[in-house]
Amino acid sequence: MLLVRCYINGSWHYISDLDQVAHVAGTTYRQYLAGIIAMDEIRVATEQPWGGHAELEYGTITLSPEVFALDWPPPAKFDIRVCYGSAGESDEVMLLMGSAYLQEVQADGVVYGLYPPSLPTMVSDQLFYGSLLTLFAAHCATLGLNLVTGCYDAMDSYWPAGPDPIIEYQATGDRLLIALLAEMAAWTCYRFTIRGSDLVLVHTSYSNGPTLWLEAYDILATSYPASQPYVRYECEGEKSRPVRWRLVPDQLQNPARTAVAFAELKVRWIYEEQWHNPSALACADATPLYPLTNLWDNNASTFWAADFPLGDTGVAQYLIFETSGYYIDTYRLHARNDSYYDQAPASWRLDAWDANTSRWRKAMNVEAQAWTIGGVQEFPAPEVQWAVVADGNFAFGSVCTVNPSCNWYYADKLASLEQIRTLVEQHRARVQLPLVAGKIPAIGQRVCYTDETLRVSTQVDMKVAAITYNFQDHTCVIEGEATLSV
């Protein structure tokens, strides 16, 4: 039976879908009104399959006008808690809590939409740094919630959470605090739900506690959806200023020229005004037209030149310049000060060396530059930010973009992406159960059973990631990542 509490005009109203509700002996007697006309299917799930805030996604409840006999007209909003019990209050289980918002008043019923609890606390331009559990404890206190580092089962006991990673996250602008906690939980593959005054946090891959074991007669139907095919997983990388750059000419000022050349390249480091010679230079061809030198002096007799567009070895021409540990802010090019000045590139691609992946990545395109004899121009060496990428196990499919990137360092981000990839590419299980108190799992709970309906008897070990309740049929559907074995 449904046991619903509605906080209307300063007092709790107790409503059920039955006329009689058994009470627990020795407790305060509660008068239940048979005032639930209908309750739609409702679903509790995280926005992302790998974690976050498991909250109410949709649903409505239609209440009898008698519920508001002393509170007419029906209020625009009230807090609501939905429980379910097989024998009344003695075995009731809280399914969800949230807010009810008025949708429609009818002659024979009042319709309310069901939404997650209202937690309007905002933060602005805040740096989150520290262990995940420490951050959650501090910010739960701000929200007026108690942190429970584990997962409730159907009988309201819980087990410990998983690892406690370090979080580094800069929140810019005004953000809802609960939304930021959801992002940090998802990034570290945690899920959490809010039950009363508790925020219950559990890791998606840990199951150090009571397991719900199901028998064949507990299960109405099963299916096992395939995982989403992703060719790769990516998130934003850290911003950096590389020390090694590659200039790849695309077009010469004079298209008739068959060689690219300029007289000098200088670099300027960040926070400095003076210009320096690069500490190292290299080019595409082992034998350019003229040898490289670090002593270029804007003189026609000392310049760099190479065949264009391809060198002697058939490789597209480029010039590499770098410094010894100093970040380049600007680079300066001098055209030759003779009649060959128009060998200077009119456009080029500037690449930066990504030390994390050991490959070149495009930083920017430089377009439509006009040169004069001995002309000098300055160009920025921009700060770069490339995606951190983990390859998926599929040769086709889409790209999974993960936000936010809560850690600043490449290795930490890649480790998080690999953890998410492993979770997403697991088998998924979808199990329909009757609503029976004591056999209703919680988000994050481990559920095990043997599926005899498949061609081969299969052992299923799953973690609950989403629950859909159907109060018309008195059933629920649990979904989550699963391990299948024989």
* 37 contacts 109 by C-beta, under 8 angstroms: yes
Enumerate the β-bridge partners of residue 17.
Answer: none
d(CA 261, CA 263): 7
Cα–Cα distances (Å) from 104 to 65, 74, 403, in that order, read: 12, 10, 37
d(CA 234, CA 399): 8
* 21 contacts 1 by C-beta, under 8 angstroms: yes
Question: Is the dihedral angle over the CA atoms 457, 445, 405, 183 positive or is it negative?
Answer: positive
Sheet-wide strand order for 190-195: 52-53, 190-195, 198-203, 146-148
Residue 96: name the closest of 86, 83, 85 by CA. 83
> Average pLDDT of each block of 10 consecutive residues along the chain (486 residues)?
90 84 61 88 90 88 93 93 83 86 94 90 87 89 85 46 79 88 92 87 74 90 90 88 90 90 86 84 66 51 76 79 86 88 92 89 90 92 90 87 82 90 92 88 89 93 92 92 92
d(CA 280, CA 243): 11
Q: Within its chain, how far is the Cα of 345 from the centroid?
A: 42
Q: What angle do CA 296, 302, 306 make, to 5 degrees?
A: 105
pLDDT score for 139: 92
Which tokens go with 476? Answer: 């629920």
Q: Which letter does DSSP use for residue 327 in this model?
A: P
Q: Do the bridges between strand 32-34 and strand 11-16 make them parallel or antiparallel, or are there none, so unpaired?
A: parallel
pLDDT score for 207: 60
d(CA 230, CA 122): 34
- 190-203 in b/e form (b: 16+ CB < 10 A) is bbbbbbeebbbbbb
Report helix, strand or coil for 11: strand
Cα–Cα distances (Å) from 277 to 239, 262, 301, 435, in that order, read: 25, 15, 18, 75
pLDDT score for 294: 45
Q: Where are the domains of the chain?
A: 2-115, 122-208, 212-227+426-430+446-485, 244-384
d(CA 202, CA 162): 7
* Cis peptide bond N-terminal to 160, omega within 30: no
Report helix, strand or coil for 348: strand
* 269 contacts 329 by C-beta, under 8 angstroms: yes
Residue 442: name the closest of 90, 118, 201, 224 by CA. 201
Which distant-in-sequence residues (6+ apart) come within 8 Å of 172 by Cβ? Answer: 125
Residue 384: name the closest of 406, 356, 412, 416 by CA. 356
d(CA 225, CA 227): 7
Single pTM value for the model: 0.79
pLDDT score for 15: 92
Secondary structure percentages of the chain, helix, strand, coil, to 5: 10, 45, 40
d(CA 385, CA 383): 7
Give CATH for domain 122-208: 3.55.50.30
pLDDT score for 154: 41
How many beta carbons lie within 10 A of that of residue 50, not counting itself? 26
d(CA 60, CA 37): 11
Question: What residue spans of 144-289 are helical by DSSP H?
Answer: 177-187
Cα R_g (the chain), whole angstroms: 32
Which distant-in-sequence residues (6+ apart) come within 8 Å of 220 by Cβ? Answer: 432, 433, 434, 475
H or E segment to which residue 410 belongs: helix 410-424
pLDDT score for 159: 47
Which distant-in-sequence residues (6+ apart) come within 8 Å of 28 by Cβ? Answer: none
d(CA 479, CA 204): 13
